[in-house]
């Protein structure tokens, strides 16, 4: 009778060990996938991330937004001319050089408006180049086999009830990792959607740059572009820090601490990614 009970216990323990090992493998693979996916996504330019969406946004901007921007530009230039004429005692002291200055402003404003997409993409190309050059700092792939090398030995030394508790822990952590991966997905992909929305209205702020008063809209827009572009760099730094932190987890020798530490660092990563947007805007003084 005793041998039968021991056989059943060993059979249950063997099943639990296999299940726990599988959960550990899933958790550590999830870490590797998150690091690789985030690093890959933030290194993409708007046209490289999804060419179809970018073409649609560009087409909408050129056919719908640019005509509106053209009207705004006309208003701004006329307003600038009226101000220039009335500036010197109602034309009593009018300087003809101001006309040439206004013509030059008109040329520059028209050039900026007609090439706004090129300028916007140049901003993101610069940011993407910075991210690409910095991608080498990430060396955070967990060696799953090394992490699990002595796991089975530790699990075999545990009792059945402790294994059941650990199995429940790994299931909870695996579920949490899945939820956190969705959160990270939303943050990273949401940034790209925000970039597309911002780019779609590019002609309007560019049409205001010819005037000192209205030009604040254009300069603020450029700041927001740089903030969005270099947010990818901040995201990459967060992922690099996360990758370094999780590398030390498998070697800790604590089975319980390894999974909870991984989950904790992933929560920290999600929180840090949330903060990158506001941090980047504060650095570039963008709204």
pLDDT, tens only, 15-33: 777 777 777 777 777 777 7
Q: What is the mean pLDDT of the chain?
A: 78
The predicted model gives 117-137 an average pLDDT of 81
Residue 72 has pLDDT above 70, yes or no: yes
Q: Report the C-alpha gap between 174 and 27 in whole angstroms.
A: 6
Distance CA 208, CA 269 (A): 39
How does 189-210 read in b/e, with b if 16+ C-beta sit within 10 Å?
eebbeebbebbbbbbbbbbbbb
State yes or no: pLDDT of 219 exceeds 80.
yes
Q: Which of 157-161, 193-197, 260-264 has the lowest mean pLDDT?
A: 157-161
Place of tokens 């996916």: 37
DSSP 90: T
- Enter the tokens of residue 152: 């089975």
Q: What angle do CA 255, 259, 262 make, to 5 degrees?
A: 135
Residue pair 221/205 in contact (Cβ under 8 Å)? The answer is yes
Residues 6+ apart with CB under 8 A from 15: none
Angstrom CA distances, 228 to 64, 176, 200, 281, stand at 24, 29, 14, 8
Q: Compute φ and ψ for 115, nearest 5 degrees.
A: -115, 25
Tell me how far apart the 2 most distant CA atoms of the chain are, in Å: 116
250 or 162: whose pLDDT is higher?
162
Rounded to 10°, the helix 116-134/160-200 angle is 150
249 DSSP assignment: S
How many C-beta atoms surround the C-beta of residue 65 within 10 A? 18
pLDDT above 80: residue 272: yes
**pTM more than 0.85:** no
């Amino acid at each position: 009778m005793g041998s039968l009970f021991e056989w059943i216990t060993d059979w249950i323990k063997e099943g639990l060990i296999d299940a726990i090992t599988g959960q550990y493998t899933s958790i550590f693979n999830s870490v590797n996938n998150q690091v690789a996916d985030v690093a890959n996504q933030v290194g993409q330019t708007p046209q490289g991330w999804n060419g179809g969406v970018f073409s649609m946004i560009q087409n909408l901007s050129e056919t719908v937004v640019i005509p509106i921007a053209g009207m705004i530009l006309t208003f701004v230039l006329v307003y600038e001319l009226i101000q220039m004429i009335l500036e010197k005692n109602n034309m009593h002291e009018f300087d003809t050089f101001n006309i040439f200055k206004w013509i030059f402003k008109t040329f520059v404003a028209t050039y900026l408006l007609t090439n706004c997409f090129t300028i916007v993409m140049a901003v993101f190309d610069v940011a993407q180049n910075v991210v690409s050059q910095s991608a080498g700092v990430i060396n955070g792939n967990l060696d799953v086999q090394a992490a699990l090398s002595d796991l089975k030995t530790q699990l075999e030394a545990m009792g059945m009830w402790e294994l059941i508790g650990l199995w429940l822990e790994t299931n909870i952590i695996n579920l949490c990792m899945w939820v956190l991966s969705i959160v990270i997905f939303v943050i990273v992909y949401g940034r790209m959607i925000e970039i597309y929305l911002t780019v779609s209205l590019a002609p309007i702020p560019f049409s205001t740059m010819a005037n000192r008063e209205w030009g604040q809209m254009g300069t603020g827009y450029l700041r927001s572009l740089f903030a969005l572009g270099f947010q990818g760099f901040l995201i990459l730094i967060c992922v690099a820090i996360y990758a370094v932190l999780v590398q030390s987890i498998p070697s800790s020798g604590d089975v319980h601490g390894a999974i909870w530490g991984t989950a904790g660092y992933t929560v920290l990563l999600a929180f840090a990614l949330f903060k990158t947007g506001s941090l980047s805007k504060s650095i570039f003084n963008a709204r």
